[in-house]
Structure 1
Amino acid sequence: MTLVSILAFSSALAIAAAVPGPGVAAIVARALGAGFRRTLPMVLGLTLGDLVYLSAAVFGLAALAQTFGTAFMVLKYLGAAYLVWLAVKLWTAPVGKGLDVAASADEGRMRGFLAGLLVTLGNPKTMVFYLALLPSIIDLETIDALGYVELCLAVVAVLLVVIGGYAYAAGRARSLFHRPRAVRMMNRGAGGMMAGAAVAIVAR
């Protein structure tokens, strides 16, 4: 692949990733409730979801993905249900130890990772980008093994910068809240964002 093709793909992906949607809302809410480090597994899960759709597009699995629409619908609702559960945990976190409870609302790195993966796999915006828009940006028939690796690296780099940037900014904002009332507002705000992301996923 040429440098121009990689840059065109990376630019389009960066714009699509930066536009607020269910994934960004989930990441910001998670970072507000648990901090930047505890949000990284979810960022990695989101990234893996993008790689799954990229692979489907490159290897001609778009028709297969559409055939198994029911499976993707199940993933969509599983991801939405999990976000609702996190939203409830954040909303009902005791004020006295709000930051601790919020930070443990999604205990375990694997659960955060799976949450990010489910959110991406159930996000129609991601599916449309890779299975519909990507072919208009890059001639997928000309991609060889090296080109596929280059695209995968571009996806990882772009999403770590864009989505990771959202997580870092939200994590920094979290450190400004220390008083019980502020903690309650932060927890409920993050919980509301989680619930909103779940609704957005189901509605699409």
Structure 2
Amino acid sequence: MELAGLILFSSALFVAAASPGPGIAAIVARVLGRGSKEAIPFSIGIALGDVVWLTFADLGLATLAQAFHEIFLVVKYAGAAYLLYLAYKIWTAPVVARDVEAQAGTEHPAKLLLGGLALTLGNPKTIVFYLALLPTILDLTRITVLGYAELVGATLSVVGVVFAGYIVLDARARQLFATPMAIRILNRTTGALLAGAAAAVASR
């Protein structure tokens, strides 16, 4: 596809991906509450969800998505429930004075990836971008297989840069919390962020 179109798409996606929403709130809370290690597979799941919606938009399956609205509702509420589960775990995590990195969780990467994927598939902001706004940015009827591959590459690159930036900044901020009281405040704050992200997903 034309370079100008790819740049326009990447720029619009960067703004959409970097703007605060349930996905970013979940990543921030994940890093602050459990460290950057678990945030990586979680972020990969979110990025794969973007590819799913990009594929739907590229193949003209927006109507199909509407036809299976109930299925996507189930996915949406499953994602919200998972965020509430994470919020509860972080809110009730035991607090002791030790290196905050030692408090990282041990959830299986596959579980984290699926959690991120479910969150994106039920995230209204992502759905609106790919199914409603993307057709106004690109002429989807003229995208070839190579063009689709370029869009997927651009999508993964853009959201990867955005998520990596949030993860690095939040990981540095997390090092400021070392005392039991600071860790308790951190846990309660990140738990509240996750609960808020869950509410945002479920209410739209």
* Pairwise TM-score range, normalised by the shorter structure: over 0.9
Please report the TM-score for the alignment, with normalisation by the length of structure 1: 0.96
Q: Which residue of 2 aligns with 1:42?
A: 42
1:24 aligns with 2:10: no
Partner of 2:104: 103
Structure 1 segment 30-69 matched on structure 2, within 5 A: 30-69=30-69
- Alpha-carbon distance change, 36 to 114 in structure 1, aligned in 2, over 3 angstroms: same
Letter of the structure 1 residue corresponding to residue 201 of structure 2 = I
Distance 1:117 1:153, change over 3 A: same
Structure 1 contact 76–122 (Cα < 8 Å) conserved = yes
Q: Secondary structure at the match of 1:107?
A: coil
Give CA deviations for 1:4-26 in whole Å, capped at 9, x if unaligned.
00000000000011110000000
CA distance in 2, matches of 1:96, 1:151: 46
Check conservation: 1:30, 1:190, Cα contact below 8 A: yes
Aligned equivalent of 2:91: 91
Using the alignment, how far apart are the partners of 1:103 and 1:86 within structure 2? 13
Cα contact 2:97–2:179 (8 A) shared by 1:
no
Match of 2:14 in 1: 14
State the alpha-carbon separation in 2 of the partners of residues 117 and 47 from structure 1: 7
- Once structures 1 and 2 are overlaid, which stretch shifts more, 138-147 or 33-42? 33-42
Structural mapping, 1:1-204, within 5 Å: 1-96=1-96, 99=100, 103-104=104-105, 107-204=107-204
> Offset of 1:101 from its aligned partner?
8.1
Q: How far apart, CA to CA, are the structure 2 residues paired with 1:91 and 1:202?
A: 20
Structure 2: 5+ residue stretches without partners: none
3-state DSSP class of the match of 1:134? helix
Q: CA deviation at 1:37?
A: 2.3
The Cα of 1:132 is off from its aligned counterpart by 0.8
TM-score, normalising length from structure 2? Answer: 0.96
Q: Deviations over 1:24-69 (max 9, x none)?
A: 0000000111212221001100000000000001111111111000
Distance 1:75 1:101, change over 3 A: farther
**TM-superposition CA deviations, 1:93-136 (whole Å, max 9, x none):** 111268478521x6111111111101100011111110110000
What code does the residue aligned with 1:8 have? L
Partners of 2:97 and 2:62 lie apart in 1 by 47
Deviations 1:146-203 (A, max 9, x none): 1000000000000001122112211111112111111111111111100000011111
Report percent identity of matched pairs. 53
- Asked whether the 8 Å contact 1:46–1:120 carries over to 2, the reply is yes
Residue 20 of structure 1 aligns to a residue in which SS? coil
What is the identity, as a one-letter code, of the residue corresponding to 1:108? H
Conservation of the 8 A alpha-carbon contact between 1:75 and 1:118? yes
| Rounded Cα–Cα distance in structure 1 between residues aligned with 2:87 and 2:46 | 18
Backbone CA RMSD of aligned residues: 1.4
